[in-house]
Amino acid sequence: MLLCLFLTTLIFLVNSCEDKQALPSGIPPGCDTASLTYSTGAGVMQQIINANCATANCHVAGGTAPTDFTSYTGLQRDAGGGTNSLFWQNLFVNRSMPPASQPRLDLCTQAKLKQWLLIGIPQ
């Protein structure tokens, strides 16, 4: 009886843990990754990059970062190339960006950045 109770609890815990840790490579429920563009149309990606990367003293002219991400031209070199891009490497491989001092990107923002990089960073 106790063993049965223990096993049931264990299965329940594992299942609930898996749900909470939606894989970054997965798209969290309710997260819209359709028709992602930089500035045309909804221009979702410009908003995401301005809010998380091209912030004061970071990826802006005169900032601490070597590259200015305030325009499409400025970020194209680092964002182009899908999984080989510096964006992908720094965001999803070595995870050096955003720096540890900055807030973490939520799962939906990560999913949108991943999708946009994979479809060739449409402007």
Shortest CB 70 distance to ligand HEM, Å: 12
Distance CA 98, CA 80 (A): 18
In the complex with ligand HEM, the residue whose CB is nearer, 38 or 87, is 87
If the CB atoms of residues 11 and 99 are measured against ligand HEM, the closer one turns out to be 99
Q: What is the largest CA-CA distance in the chain?
A: 67
Task: Tell me the closest approach of the beta carbon of residue 5 to ligand HEM, in angstroms.
Answer: 45
Nearer to ligand HEM, 70 or 90 (CB): 90
Nearest-approach distance from CB 33 to ligand HEM, in angstroms? 16
**CA 86 to mean position of chain CA atoms:** 13
State the minimum distance, in angstroms, from the CB of residue 120 to ligand HEM: 16
Determine what percent of the chain falls in helix, strand and coil, rounding each to the nearest 5.
Answer: 50, 0, 50
Q: How far apart, in Å, do the first and last CA atoms of the chain sit?
A: 61
Binding site for ligand HEM (CB under 6 A): 52-53, 55, 58-59, 64-67, 78, 86-87, 90-91, 96-99, 102, 105
Torsion-angle region of 116 (φ positive above 0: left; ψ -120 to 50: alpha; else: beta): alpha
Nearer of residues 16 and 73 to ligand HEM, judged by Cβ: 73
DSSP for residue 53: T
